[in-house]
Amino acid sequence: MLELYLMRHAKAKRAQGGMADHQRPLRKRGRRQAAAMAHALQRWQALEGEIHVSDAARTRETLDEIAKQLSEPSLVERACFDEALYTFDAQALLAWLKALPDEVERVLVIGHNPALLELARWLCAEAPSELTTGSLLHLSLPDTPWQSLEHHAAENVNCLTPEQASHALFKRKAPAKPSLHKASLAKRIRGQLEHQYLMVRVLEPGVAAGIDPEFLHQYRVNLRRSRAIGQSVWAAIKVPGLKKRLKHLKHRAQATSDLRDLDVFLESLSEAPPPLTSYSCQALERWLLNRRDEEHAALCQQLVTPDYAEEMQAWRDFISSGNFRKILRKLSSERIEAVLAERIARHDSDLAALSSDSPDAAFHELRKVVKRIRYLAELDPKRHRTFLSKLKRRQSLLGDIQDLCTRQAWIEAFSASSRNAPRRVQECAAWRGALEKQKHSLREDVVALAPLTDVY
C-alpha cells in the first residue's frame, strides 16, 4: 500500500499592507493547531516517510511548530520545501504526486486548499467535504507506481482536525454550560442532563481519534454524572422507564473503564519512573500501549454500532419528554434532604465498620457511597456548598486507594505475561509490595476520618 498524508497549513494571519500571500505567518491559534497535530502525525506514522512542504511561510511554520512539539529538529532538516507545492490547483498537485519516484511508499504533504481537498476527493469518493486549517487526511492507495494513480483509487481515508486531536482546542468551541443557578430544581436537573448528553455526543470524535486522553476522561465524566444524577432522582422519586436507561448509561461508562485506567497508568510512568530496570520499563510501556490500542479499538467499534446510537437517542428523548418534566416538578428539596440523610447514615455505618486491614472492596464500596452523596448534594449546590467542599478530601483519599488497586492489577497482569523473565516478575512483585504500603497508609487516613454527620 502507498500511504499519502495531506495536511493543510495551520491558521495564518491575513495579508496586510504590502505583504504577499506567500509571506503570511501563522497566528497564535495556528501555532496551537500545529502543535496539537504533532502527536497525531506521529501516531499515524505520517512522519516516517518523506515530508514535502510548500515553501510558503505558513506551511514552513506549521512544520516548525510540529518539530518543536516533538523536540525533533531533524524533521525540518529532512523536509523538502518545494515551490511547486505552493499551489491552489488540484491538477497541478496531482501532477506533482504522479511524478514521485516509485520507491517512495509513504509521503506527507503540507500544503494549501482548495488543492489538497480537491485532490483528496479525486482520489477517494468518501473524502470529507471540507479540510479546515491544521487538519490532516490519510489516504491508503493501491501498491502501484504513483504515475498510475486513478480516479477514486484510494481504499481508505481518515480525517483528523486539531479540535479532535486536542481537548484544549476543543474546549474553545465546546457548548457552553447553561446558566442554571437561578433555575428551579426541576429545570436545573433537566438542564444538567441535557448539557451532559450534548457533551457526550460532541466528545465522541475526539474519543474515536484517541490522540488526547482528556477526551475519553470528559466523555466518561459526563456519562457517569448523567447516571449519577439519574440515580439521585430515582432515589428520591420513582420515574417510570428511568432505571432501564440508567443501566444503559452504566454499560457505556463501564466500556471506558480499562482504557481510562491505562491512560492514567501510562501518564504516571512519565511523572514517576517505576522501580524497574530500563529494559523492563520499556517492556511495560510497550505492553500497556498494546493493551490501550486494543481497548481503544473495541470502544471505537461500540461507538459506531446502531445499538449505541439508539440508546443515546432514547436517553435524549427521555430527558426531553414532557412526562419526565412533569415528574421532576414533583421533586422537592425536602425529599432530597431525606434521601441525603439516609445515604450519610449508611456512609457513617460503613466507615465505622472499616479498619486499615479491611479488603479493598470495602473501601471501594465506601467510595461509591461518597460519590452518590456528592451527586445528590450537587442537586442543590448553593445549599450544600460547605458540605461539598468538605467531601473533596474524603473522595480524593478513596480515589487514590482505588487508583493504587488498579495499578496493582495491571502490574500483576504484566507480570503474568513475563513468566519467561523471572527477574522482571520479581521486580513487579516488589513494586506491588511498595504500592501496598502506600495503600495501607491511605487506608489509615480514611479510617481516621470523622463521620459525615459531624460535618453535614
**Residue range 94-117, pLDDT digits in tens:** 999 999 999 999 999 999 999 999
Rg (CA), the chain: 27
Cα 33–39–45 angle (5° rounding)? Answer: 120
Question: Directed axis angle between helix 28-43 and helix 57-70, to 10°?
Answer: 60
pLDDT, one tens digit per residue, over 249-264 is: 999 999 999 999 999 9
Task: Please answer whether residues 255 and 243 qualify as being in contact, where contact means their C-beta atoms are separated by less than 8 angstroms.
Answer: no
C-alpha cell at 327: 415528574
The count of residues in the chain is 456
Task: Please answer whether residues 163 and 139 qualify as being in contact, where contact means their C-beta atoms are separated by less than 8 angstroms.
Answer: no
Give me the percent of the chain exceeding a pLDDT of 90.
87
Which pTM was predicted? 0.92
pLDDT at 427 (0 to 100): 96
pLDDT, one tens digit per residue, over 157-214 is: 899 999 999 999 999 999 999 988 888 889 999 999 999 999 999 999 999 999 999 9
pLDDT, one tens digit per residue, over 331-350 is: 888 998 999 999 999 999 99
Helix (H) or strand (E) run with residue 115 in it: helix 115-123
pLDDT at 221 over 90: yes
| Gap between the Cα atoms of 300 and 423, Å rounded | 37
C-alpha cell at 342: 439516609
Around 287, how many Cα atoms within 13 Å sit in the side-chain half-sphere? Answer: 17
Report how far apart the first and last C-alpha atoms of the chain are (Å, whole number): 64
| Gap between the Cα atoms of 1 and 451, Å rounded | 64
* Bridge partner list, 53: 81, 110
C-alpha cell at 69: 512539539
What confidence category does residue 39 fall into, taking pLDDT thresholds of 50, 70 and 90? Answer: very high
Concatenate the DSSP letters of all residues of 70-89 into one string. Answer: HT-THHHHH-EEEGGGS---
* Bridge partner list, 12: 26
